[in-house]
Structure 1
Amino acid sequence: MKLHKLLLFLLFVTFASSAVAQSSSQLKKKKEAIQREIELLQKNLNKAAQSKKLTLGEINALNAKIRLMQSKIGVINSEIKNLDSEIHENTNTVHSLQTQLSQLKKEYAGMIRFAQRNRNSYDKMMFIFAASDFNQAYKRIKYLQQFGQYRKKQADYIQGTEKSLKYKIVILDKSLKEKSNLLKEQENEQNKLAKNKTEQASVLNKFSRQEKQFSKDIATRKRQQAAIDRQIRNAIQREIALARKRAEEEARIAAAKARADNKPAPAEKPKTTTNYLTATPEAAKLSAGFENNRGRLPWPVGSGTITENFGRHTEGQAGYTNDGVNIMTADGAAVRAVFSGDVLFVTMMQGIYVVAIRHGDYFTIYQNLRSANVAKGDKVETRQTIGTVATTSDGPMLHFEIMRGQVKLNPEAWIAK
């Protein structure tokens, strides 16, 4: 029973260690991904710093970088917590194995002493012949055989336990060194964060001195965005009008056919934008597929960081609303469709392209493209390249929006984390 319990204990420890190792591996991957984002932002910030003019994109990129650094420190803290748990568990395992080993050796020593007392064949024969009957003599023979086998097994278990103990001590030492390295990394990241917060304070101070200029820039941005929004809204309204016209024509034909066949007219669907835009089986399938992938849609660029979120923003006295997200990415990054659909329009405004794609009653809009690889009416597939991102004074930035009908949605709720 003791040996059985020991085996179960060692099995449990192995599985527990495996679970912690898997979690640690995931944290390392997350930390590496965050570091890649930080490096990409820093690369773009270094380029932006060459210009004397401070931009809103630069402020947002710096803020995003600080958020990422805080997130990285959080991951390091999780790694340390994991290691603390692993160290505690392995320390307990080492103590338990030492106790088990001591007990096994004690039992084995008892067996050796017994074997020494009955070490010659004569003693064994006397033990067997001293039996009261044949049945008892047979049992004594079996006992001696089993005793020998058990002693051998006990010796094997002692060797196995010693091996496990040495392995756990090595792992424990490794974990302690890893924790020491993580604590140094944590301190290093906190120092970097402090420097970036100082830089942030300096930038905000500079911003306050240039607030009038920023207010003008924001006003210009609002006008540009309003012009793009009008074009998007008009294009979607045309799609809705066409879909309504088709639906009404189909309903009229169906009613006329029913009258000719002397049958009751088919029940009309409620007249909603969604019903018009998903009237055809293809559009309904696209819409359902898009909706079912909420939270799992691929990013519209291969790598990047959201530097400005969806919703209301205030910079100094100036306020504005972002109807999508701004993603800072690499120079010349490919812009990809997040889902299959039909290109609603491709237009150029002030030297940059805007692409809108329809997915049933959902629409995705990709702004600030240097070039476009698609044209109105083209069918596109998920992750298909539709153009390349443009680099402006804010850096290589993609503005990405998602709409249902004419309702703006938060893209962060739809794209993969």
Structure 2
Amino acid sequence: MSLIRVFFIFTFILIAGTTFAQSSSELKRRKESLTREIEMLRKSQNKVVNNKRLSLRQINALNAQIRLRQEKISTINSEVRLLDNQISENSNNVRSLQSQLNRLKKEYAAMILFAFRNQSSYSKLMFIFASTDFNQAYKRLKYLQQFGDYRRKQANYIQQTQKDLGYKIVQLDHNKREKSTLLQDQEKEKITLGKEKSNQSVQLSKLSKQEKELRQELSQKQKESARLNRAIQNAISREIEAERRKAAALAAAAAKAAAAKGDDVVAKPVATGTKVLSATPESAKMTSDFTGNRGSLPWPVANGTIVERFGRHNIGNVSTENNGVNIQTNEGAGVRAIFAGTVTSVLNMGSSSAIIIRHGEYFTVYTNLRSVNVSKGQKVSVKQGIGTVASDPSDGSSDVHLEIWKGSTPMNPEAWLAN
């Protein structure tokens, strides 16, 4: 086997090992994160297990727990597939290294036999002195030197190949043990998922018996949601009107200055609708920066899990519409801005407060706050604390509601938050 081929094999093994380590590490981090979220929801569910009255929040938390459990099983499946690929790859590498080692040993044995047969100094000298001229004698001398060097290199290659082979065999054994452990974990998670789904059926059965109470709860929730939506729309309308007036004033001032100089006045059209929110260079940059951070924005709480997702949902015979996401977190957790911007509104929602922050053409909304640390017109930085989450007095759960709007259109926050 040529030295170049040996080099490429070693390089491939190194690159493949590094790629596997990165992918495996990412999957493990995701699995650990899911485990923490599931545990937080489990503890929350344990607090309300004896509560006879079932709430939409409890059902949402249970559904979220099942969803996270399914995602964890899917993550384990990905780990198993990755390990299967690595086991196959390592098995191929072991066979390749074993074949390479056998070939190197045969070549080395042939060289040793040749050297043994020609080991006397007399034979070497005769080989050199039998040359027809000085140039041939020099080449034969160099050949003998190179042959010795090559023999030493081959011995080193054999040692290195044996070392790599031993390492790959150990790695292969580790992969197989890790796969066995993952399969055991997967089976445990499936059993737990089955129990959770059984519990879900029981709870949904209770839900049908409490439909009247749940509809009353939903009606109250819809009123609060409608009030929040009106407040958001009003805040956006005020911002649009303020920016429109500012743009119109700037255009009028520019036209007046041009007329004073005797220049021809060409009226620049003023942006209309929500586009006026990005009319100035500063707001345009803020809009661009916010858009550029799609999928990597920090969460509004340090620890939490989404218990109600964006859009329309059906729970039994009860239907709900969500313009954002509900994130369950620890009691009294601090709520933070997910991007730099300016506070446009601090709203009193009765038993809780809400904050609206503008980021150019975008707005972020934080609802169900027990306390507020910022005021209208204040500039905030990313991850700056803006308040603390409120807790439900009936079951002690703590959810922060997050919405993201582009102009007057609500967006799915899950697509914007970091995984």
Q: Same fold (TM over 0.5)?
A: yes
Q: Deviations over 1:356-403 (max 9, x none)?
A: 112233221110001100111211111110001111146110111122
Q: Which residue of structure 2 aligns with residue 186 of structure 1?
A: 186
Mapped partners of 2:42, 2:413: distance in 1? 24
How far is the alpha carbon of 1:306 from its aligned partner?
1.5
1:340/1:381 contact within 8 Å kept: yes
With 307-316 and 236-245 compared, the bigger mean Cα shift is at: 236-245
TM-score by length of 1: 0.93
Identify if the C-alpha distance between structure 1 residues 119 and 361 changes in structure 2 by more than 3 Å, giving closer, same or farther: closer
Q: Which residue of structure 2 aligns with residue 399 of structure 1?
A: 401
Q: Which residue of structure 2 aligns with residue 415 of structure 1?
A: 417
Mapped partners of 1:247, 1:28: distance in 2? 52
Mapped partners of 2:262, 2:4: distance in 1? 83
Q: Deviations over 1:12-64 (max 9, x none)?
A: 22221221122111111111111111112212222232422211111111111
Mapped partners of 2:192, 2:215: distance in 1? 31
Q: Which residue of structure 2 aligns with residue 381 of structure 1?
A: 381
Q: Deviations over 1:159-213 (max 9, x none)?
A: 1111111111111111111111111111111111111111111111111111111
Within a 5 Å distance, the mapping from 1:15-414 to structure 2 comes to 15-392=15-392, 393=394, 395-414=397-416
Runs of 4+ in 1 over 6 A off after TM superposition: none
1:354/1:366 contact within 8 Å kept: yes
- Report the secondary structure of 1:115's partner residue: helix
Mapped partners of 1:327, 1:314: distance in 2? 18
Identify if the C-alpha distance between structure 1 residues 286 and 134 changes in structure 2 by more than 3 Å, giving closer, same or farther: closer
Identity, % of aligned positions = 52
Counterpart amino acid of 2:362? Y
Q: Which runs of 5+ in 2 are unaligned?
A: none
Q: Which runs of 5+ in 1 are unaligned?
A: none
- Report the secondary structure of 2:8's partner residue: helix
Identify if the C-alpha distance between structure 1 residues 108 and 57 changes in structure 2 by more than 3 Å, giving closer, same or farther: same
- Report the secondary structure of 2:48's partner residue: helix
Mapped partners of 2:398, 2:154: distance in 1? 69
Identify if the C-alpha distance between structure 1 residues 275 and 151 changes in structure 2 by more than 3 Å, giving closer, same or farther: closer
2:296/2:417 contact within 8 Å kept: yes
How far is the alpha carbon of 1:256 from its aligned partner?
4.1
1:306/1:326 contact within 8 Å kept: yes
The number of equivalent residue pairs is: 417
How far is the alpha carbon of 1:270 from its aligned partner?
4.2
With 283-292 and 82-91 compared, the bigger mean Cα shift is at: 283-292
How far is the alpha carbon of 1:275 from its aligned partner?
4.3
With 339-348 and 231-240 compared, the bigger mean Cα shift is at: 231-240
1:233/1:406 contact within 8 Å kept: yes
With 113-122 and 198-207 compared, the bigger mean Cα shift is at: 113-122
Mapped partners of 1:286, 1:132: distance in 2? 85
Counterpart amino acid of 2:102? S
Counterpart amino acid of 1:370? R
Counterpart amino acid of 1:390? A
Mapped partners of 1:135, 1:252: distance in 2? 95
Instruction: Compute the RMSD of aligned alpha carbons.
Output: 2.1
How far is the alpha carbon of 1:222 from its aligned partner?
0.8
Counterpart amino acid of 1:169? I
1:336/1:384 contact within 8 Å kept: yes
1:301/1:333 contact within 8 Å kept: yes
1:357/1:365 contact within 8 Å kept: yes
2:255/2:267 contact within 8 Å kept: no
1:269/1:275 contact within 8 Å kept: no
